[in-house]
Structure 1
Amino acid sequence: MAEDPANLKSENPDSEKQRSWASVPGVSFLLSLFLMFTYDLVIWFFDMVIHTFFRQLTMRGTFNIPKKGAVIFVVAPHHNQFVDPLVLMTSVRKAAGRRVSLLTAAKSYRTWYVGVPARLCSAIPVERAQDLVHAATGKIRVENFGPENENVVIIGEGTRFKSEAMAKGLIGLPRYLGNAQIEEIESDTRLRLRKAFKINFDKPSEKEEEMICLLTEGTDYVVAPHVDNHKVFQNVFDHLNAEKVLGIFPEGGSHDRPNLLPLKPGVAIMALGAVSQSKDPNQVVKIIPVGLNYFHPHKFRSRVVIEFGKPILVTKDDAAKYEKNTRDVVNKLLDLITLRLKEITVNCDDYDTLMTIHAARRLYTSSVRKSIPLPLVVEMSRRILQGYQKYADRPDVQQLKNAVYEYNKKLMILGLHDHQVESLTRSNRLSVLIMFLHRLFLTTLFFLLSLPGVIMFSPVFIVARRISREKQKQALAGSTVKIKAKDVIGTWKILVALVLAPALYIFWAAVATFALVKFGIAGSVPKTLTFLIGYLICVLITYASLRVGEVGMDAYKSLTPLFYSILSAHRDILQIENLKETRRKLAEQVVEFCDRYGPSMFDDFDEFYNKYHGYNEDDDKIRHDTMQTEDISLSRSVSPNSVSLSNLSDIQIFSNAYDGTESGDESSPHSEDRKASEPEATPQPKEEQEAQLRLRKTKHSQVND
């Protein structure tokens, strides 16, 4: 039997050292001070990095963050690899003064660029089975493979199962097509699976057809050892019972899907287990759901909204129920966590639908778009999406979706954005020409002002773009979950910039120092001081160029519709007018959709509508109890056939990013029950509905005027 490397690696070696040093009298206090100082220093540095990469970072619901006590931040979706943890830690430190220790994949923990700051921030490493996958000897096939059989017996040819595989470990197909857990190893050439490879024989996909072919004819394979997570759980229990803060991304690896990956029961067991082990009769662990909503997360100077949801309190009463009925309590808590995450995130079944929802939101808010802050933008997208998902089968809703999709597609072909359509005009070309020349002058001016910084920093942009694209290709090739692997681009742009930017500043400062000394301009100023001043000036030049360039970019983006308006022929003018008319009709239809179905779904629809027309940016308490409590499809329920919850070594903390399971999976044992029990919202009476619709249309047209 192969030795389980996780028995050694799951334990945090830094924690062991800290505990041994802490046993020395007086050292514990000094060690705590040192760890707090290093944490704050690292967070201060990364806060500058985050606010340089993102143009705007908005926090919402910070009043939900507890100022003291044990806290678990459950964060989703994991769309920006190593950037997501930085956004979480800097936001929590700034908003509530709490220090978050993250559960980090051991694979990343062992790299220098993640491991060093992770250690300084007291991260807890977690070994994942998919990170220990390696090729094995021989070929495998499934005995009597077919839809009528169990398909759990694996036959090997030239294999060495007893020495290369292990019970409870994984055996998988090449190219991440799928894997299964090993139940028992009978010989070097025969083993039994706990469950068969997941394949739909009735309507197999292209991937499943390839799996059927490989498992029938024989194929190369990979194995991974069983990971013992018992020590990790104990570390987490001790951490929480010391009234500290924990952060976890329960989806596991990052991804760029428009929906959440299924959640594993590990996060629920952490809270329940910590309270159960605590000797404090009043111990409470608070679970805070955190939603990350990015606007182009892979792009430099994009925007992000981080939203902190309502706390979920895990008390001693819950722990007592957990000890008596583990499965049901874990299921209920996991369902509640999933529900709260869905309340503060935008989740969609596919990318095209998500883009259509965003287009519908822009149509709805077109009249006062500039005055709407980012948190309200996210909330509107979420509500429109929920309304669409609720009534997606209705013909009028499908017709509206298709119309908005075609409109959005036409804008992409023309190279226009929705907010630019209303700027297109055929009247008074002279005034439009003057405006165009003015904007062109501003664009040129700001470009010239930012040019020194662009030239100085251009090597960073070029190298960062090239390396991030290469890493994107590697990540996409190694995952069946990612769509385009855009989730790794932002991380590698930042990592490359952190290495190259200081080197560039040193180079330019050295060149400036050499020139000043050579031509006698520096005078009696020491070379070291001249170099430091030059380094500082280089930093200021690039920062000033960044801010000036943003203003110029805003002016540049307004040139396209003006250019269309000036140079369009008569035929193009008609096309523009048709496009504007299409947009106007679609905007009315979207408003009608929201007004028709909104009141039946959201108790606070009228309050929310009024807030939309007179939003106060200081008011950060928009109600978002917008979900039906039965609509929970992302949590992976703990069924009787799953691993035993009494053995923490078998509990997965992260989702397996390579198992091909998507959040649209309907295999959950409770999914059909939830669908059957989901109440059908009843639309308002027709007369009342039409009266409210006329009133809101009048308000909407007044705002437009």
Structure 2
Amino acid sequence: MESLAYNSVKGAFKVASSIFFREIRSTGASQVPEKDPVIFIVGPHANQFVDPGMVLISNPRQFAPLMAKSSFKKKVIGQLATLLKAIPVIRPQDLASKGKGTIRSSEDGTRLIGTDTKFKEQVATRDVISISKTLKAQVAEVVSDTELVLKNALTEPLVSDESYKIIPHIDQSTLYDQVHKRLAESGSIVIFPEGGSHDRSEMLPLKAGFAIMALGAMAEHPDISVKIVPVGLNYFHPHKFRSRAVISYGSPVTVEKEWVELYKQGGSAKREAIAALLEAGHEGLKSVTVNAPSYDTLMIIAAARRLYRPAYEHKLRLDQVVELNRRFLLGYKHFENDPRLIELARKVQAYNNTLKYFGLRDHQVERTKTAPFDAVTLLLTRIIRLVSLACVGFPALLLNSPIILLVSIISQKKQKEALAGSNVKIAARDVLATWKVLVVAVFGPILYGLYSTILFGYLYMSQYQQGQMSLSRVFGWSAVSYIAQPFLHYAGIRLLETGVDLYKSLSPLLLATFNPGSAAHLRTMREKLSDDITAFVNENGPSALEDFNPHRFDNMEQRGMFDGSSIHWLGNDRSLFNFNSSSSSSIALSPSSSSSTNSSTSDNDGTATKKST
């Protein structure tokens, strides 16, 4: 029964992910141990409740996710957590309470002095006093109702009275007991060691929980061998509808017996063992994720990867794009202070700015080669197709407009709330996809029911009462309408998506038609920059990467570089409504894009990033 519930949730996530994402690829899942107890550490946590679903649909093992206990109270999310047998985690911040009175600090910042406070009643040793998002301090001793001794001095002493919150210390022994029991039964768990979701360009520092769990389980049960499997979630614009994603499973990290022995000793030896496993897990996650210090750096890396000639002369799958981005980032960090690289980065940025000025993407530059007369013909053809699609797709857009409006309002509201309550989020885009999916999941069936009810009322009034249709047929047609609507709405969305892609494909044709001189200059600029990047990478790559090989893409299409597999449950997105024609090659994906086959339209610029470009 438990397996049935688990597989039902997994199936539901498969369908939802196929609707929300245009393409999903999974790599490395074959490395997952079949029988050993496993802790899957997942990062970066860029998409709140969507991330566990991505692991669920790609993971060959049945697992129990660790989830904040507060999430169990949420509708839909709480029900799914129960079906998945999720292990609840009590987060101290969820139990924070407002402290009575106000506080200020001593001159050295080691004590807090209260006014009208009740420290004896409200505060305990090891609790955390939170003054602001960035100013927090752990309590070492409660001296009186008006005085606290802090474990560490405040970084910013309080010179005036301030309000504060009390974050209680939580005994997590029950949580560790549940995890140890699961691992002792050769089960597996999923944990997000960053602690919470975020929208930064690199992972947050990992918390030690997974290391303590693994070492504690092996110390308590000497006959088991826990494996740590890193799972990288690499999204292409994670908060956007119909984006792309790559789920990468890394090599399992074995928990060494010597670490377990050190853990058993306690004290500094225990901390040494935890630190060693924490570092091993961090290195594992770095091997399956793209971690850039900033989004600007990530944009430069992605552009350089697209321009690297051995790469763009071949067709890369989505997982290969992510892997190449990661390798380019390693090389970038190795040479970041090299004047030659700094100059190349400046040129890449200038190229990106030029593309932005002309409203083009890199893969569209080559499409400006089209002769003006041919460009005009193709432009008119696509405009006609675009208008035709708009006429067909507008009814679907109109019928979906209540959901679209609700999605926009609710997701933006949740984004503001998440941003206000976090000190690590940049714009809180990590909550957008989750709430888009939840709103559609909850209100979609309601909207379909409303439309079916309207149809029932119409048939009842116009057909049944006039004796032209039986009541059973009225009910039957209403039921058919309810069942068919999700599929019809999805088809309408796909038509709209194809129309948007067609609209984006007009830019290079417009440039080729009305400004061929600028188009030629842009192609020359790209060609020269491609030569410079290729020369630099081929010359210096071996010193940054031991396994560097400029010929690694040769014959790649026949033998494949990675074991990436594409996840689709609703058909092939590249052919549905893409209307193959002789003109498709003019707007095909660039050789450096994610697809291994040409497609007539694409919005993918091949940049695995957590920010809209």
What range describes the TM-score normalised by the shorter chain of this pair?
0.7 to 0.9
Q: 2:585 maps to which residue?
A: none
In the TM superposition, residue 462 of structure 1 has moved relative to its aligned partner by: 1.7
Question: Alpha-carbon deviation of 1:109?
Answer: 2.1
Distance 2:295 2:191 in 1: 25
Deviation at 1:554, TM superposition (A): 2.5
Distance 1:288 1:54 in 2: 25
Gaps of 5+ in 2: 565-613
Q: 1:121/1:539 Cα in 2 relative to 1: closer, same or farther (>3 Å)?
A: same
Is the 8 Å Cα contact of residues 135 and 222 (structure 1) preserved in structure 2?
yes
**Superposition pairs of residues 165-180 of structure 1, within 5 angstroms:** 165-174=123-132, 176-180=133-137
- The verdict on how the C-alpha distance between 1:318 and 1:621 changes in structure 2, with shifts beyond 3 A counting, is farther
Equivalence map 1:81-230=2 (5 Å): 81-92=48-59, 96=60, 98-145=61-108, 151-174=109-132, 176-197=133-154, 199=155, 211=156, 215-230=158-173
Hey, what does 1:531 align to over in structure 2?
478
Separation in 1 of the partners of 2:151 and 2:519? 61
1:162 partner amino acid: K
* SS of the residue 2:10 aligns to: helix
1:237-248 superposed matches below 5 A: 237-248=180-191
**TM-fit CA distance, 1:90:** 1.5
Establish whether residue 471 from structure 1 lines up as the match of residue 471 from structure 2: no
SS in 1 for 2:229: strand
Deviation string, structure 1 residues 350-369 (Cα, Å, up to 9, x no partner): 12111221122222269747
The answer to whether the Cα contact below 8 Å between 2:314 and 2:553 also exists between their aligned partners in 1 is: no
Letter in 2 for 1:423: R
Q: Partners of 2:97 and 2:302 in 1: how far apart?
A: 42
Q: 2:552 aligns to what SS in structure 1?
A: helix
| CA offsets 1:635-690 (integer angstroms, 9 cap, x no match) | xxxxxxxxxxxxxxxxxxxxxxxxxxxxxxxxxxxxxxxxxxxxxxxxxxxxxxxx
Shift in Å, 1:292: 0.3
Give the superposition deviation at 1:110: 2.3
- Work out the CA distance in 2 between the residues paired with 1:222 and 1:496: 32
**CA gap 1:125/1:365 in 2 versus in 1, 3 angstroms:** farther
What residue is the counterpart of 2:547 in the other structure?
604
What is the match of residue 48 of structure 1?
A: 15
Contact 1:74–1:289 (8 Å) recurs in 2 = yes
1:108, 1:114 within 8 Å by CA — same for their partners in 2? yes
1:73 and 1:288 in contact (8 A); partners too: yes
Name the counterpart of 2:264.
323
Q: Does structure 2 conserve the Cα–Cα contact (< 8 Å) formed by 1:364 and 1:591? A: yes
SS in 1 for 2:76: helix
Indicate if the aligned counterparts of 1:275 and 1:315 stay in contact, CA closer than 8 A: no
Deviations 1:520-563 (A, max 9, x none): 36557433322221112212211222333333332222111112
Kindly indicate whether residue 331 of structure 2 is the aligned counterpart of residue 387 of structure 1: yes
Moved more, 508-517 or 558-567: 508-517
Shift of 1:45: 1.2
Corresponding residue for residue 295 of structure 1: 236
Offset of residue 574 of structure 1: 4.0
Amino acid at match of 1:167: T
Structure 2 counterpart SS, 1:396? helix
Q: Determine the structure 1 residue equivalent to 2:174.
A: 231
The answer to whether structure 1 residue 595 and structure 2 residue 538 are counterparts is yes
The verdict on how the C-alpha distance between 1:523 and 1:559 changes in structure 2, with shifts beyond 3 A counting, is farther
Separation in structure 1 between the aligned mates of residue 554 and residue 341 of structure 2, nearest angstrom: 23
Distance in 2 between residues matched to 1:370 and 1:79, nearest whole Å: 30
1:567 matched to 2:508: no
Partner of 1:208: none
Distance (whole Å) between structure 1 residues aligned to residue 275 and residue 181 of structure 2 = 23
Residue of structure 2 aligned with 1:399, choices 318, 338, 343: 343
The percentage of aligned residue pairs carrying the same residue is 37
**Map of 2:373 onto structure 1:** 430
Give ranges in structure 1 of 5+ residues lacking alignment. 1-33, 146-150, 200-210, 623-705
2:507 alignment partner AA: T
Deviations 1:182-204, CA, capped at 9 Å, x for gaps:
1111112211111223x4xxxxx
Q: CA deviation at 1:618?
A: 5.2
TM-score of the pair, normalised by structure 2: 0.87
Within 5 Å, which residues of 2 pair with 1:361-510? 361-364=305-308, 368=312, 371-425=315-369, 428-510=371-453
Structure 1 counterpart of 2:53, one-letter code:
L
**Deviation (angstroms), 1:459:** 1.3
Where do 1:295-374 residues align within 5 Å?
295-314=236-255, 316=257, 318-324=259-265, 325-364=269-308, 368=312, 371-374=315-318
* Cα distance in 2, alignment partners of residues 247 and 526 from structure 1: 49
Letter in 2 for 1:610: R
In structure 1, give the amino acid aligned to 2:150. L
d(CA) in 2 for partners of 1:406 and 1:141? Answer: 50
Residue type of the alignment partner of 2:113: I
1:95-142 superposed Cα distances (whole Å, 9 cap, x missing partner): x2x212111012222222321110111001111122222221222222
Aligned residues: 557
Distance 2:220 2:93 in 1: 30
Question: In the TM superposition, what are the counterparts of 1:541-580 in structure 2 within 5 Å?
Answer: 541-568=488-515, 573-580=516-523
In structure 2, distance between residues paired with 1:617 and 1:120? 41
Letter in 2 for 1:600: S
CA contact 1:170–1:181 (8 Å) conserved in 2: yes
Q: Residues 514, 464 of structure 1: CA spacing in aligned structure 2 closer, same or farther, 3 A cutoff?
A: same
Aligned to 2:573: none
Cα distance in 1, alignment partners of residues 415 and 298 from structure 2:
22
Aligned counterparts of 1:582 and 1:591: Cα–Cα separation in 2: 14
- Amino acid paired to 2:501: D
Matched letter for residue 46 of structure 1:
F
SS of aligned partner of 1:217: coil
Residue 422 of structure 1 aligns to a residue in which SS? Answer: helix
8 Å contact kept, 1:361–1:384: yes
- Kept in 1, the 8 Å contact 2:195–2:207? The answer is no
Query: Quick one: structure 1 residues 367 and 38, their matched pair in 2 at CA, closer, same or farther if it must change by over 3 Å?
Result: closer
More off after superposition, 309-318 vs 163-172: 309-318
1:135-177 CA distance string (max 9 Å, x none): 21222222114xxxxx322222222221122110101113x13
Cα distance in 1, alignment partners of residues 346 and 251 from structure 2: 35
Q: What is the alpha-carbon distance in structure 1 between the residues aligned to residue 235 and residue 560 of structure 2? A: 21
CA deviation map 1:374-426 (0-9, x unaligned): 0110011111111111111111111111221232133223322111222224x
CA contact 2:320–2:562 (8 Å) conserved in 1: no
Kept in 1: contact 2:309–2:531 (CA 8 A): no
Alpha-carbon displacement from aligned partner over 1:474-514 (angstroms, at most 9, x marks no partner) = 11111110011110110110111011110111112222233
CA shift for structure 1 position 597:
2.1
Residue 600 (structure 2) aligns with: none
**Hey, what does 1:614 align to over in structure 2?**
556
Q: Which amino acid aligns with 1:602?
A: L
What displacement does 1:617 show?
Answer: 7.1
Task: Give 2:199's match in structure 1, choosing from 256, 261, 286.
Answer: 256
> Alpha carbons of 1:575 and 1:196: their partners in 2 closer, same or farther (altered >3 Å)?
farther
Structure 2 counterpart of 1:156, which letter? G
